[in-house]
Amino acid sequence: MIQDNKDKQDFLNTLLAQGDAMVCMDARQPDVQVPKAHKTNAMLNLVLSLNFRRPFEVLEDGVYGSLSFGGRLYKCVIPFTAVWAIYEPDTQKGQVWEASIPEDIDWGDPAGPIAQDSSSKKNSDKQFLRMVAGSGKSDKTKRNRSHLRVVK
């Protein structure tokens, strides 16, 4: 587990050096500190950027700092044990730690952006993992984002 945390820290720092990073996490874990409205979310996605107005720290065991939710600051603790994927939002190229994915995740509605085969949850899991680990390039230019977005 210590090696996973180090891998997550290194990967997050690499993405942050290049721009934004999307962190997918299980906010239900006891050590996670996020606003109460998000505490029951097994698939909480947070965009992190070094361009934030308030600095945050990426340490060996997690991410610490005051992040903005709906314009309000909240002192967050995001331990790497709760993180199960990190990727670059524009290209969706990233890394998934399958052993960290909560078993009870609801992969969404069949009519949603990731179509599900009703006979196989594994099929939707693989589609999502391919999407996160994709190698597509984006033509979008980098924007200076000074706030945190919550993507459900």
Structure-derived torsion over alpha carbons of residues 87, 90, 93, 95, reported in degrees to the nearest 10: 0
Residue 105 clears pLDDT 90, i.e. is over it: no
Q: Which residue has the tokens 């990190």?
A: 86
Specify the pLDDT at position 41: 94
Q: Where are the beta strands (DSSP E) in the chain?
A: 21-25, 44-48, 56-59, 62-69, 72-79, 83-87, 94-96, 150-151
Query: Which of 64, 56, 103 lies closest to 80 in space, CA to CA?
Result: 64
Indicate the pLDDT class of residue 42, thresholds 50, 70 and 90: very high
Specify the pLDDT at position 131: 47
Domain 2-138: assigned CATH number: 2.30.30.220
Q: Which residues contact 129 (CB under 8 A, 6 or more apart)?
A: 96, 98
Indicate the pLDDT class of residue 44, thresholds 50, 70 and 90: very high
Specify the pLDDT at position 117: 40
- Give the percent of the chain with pLDDT over 90: 57
Residue 65 clears pLDDT 70, i.e. is over it: yes
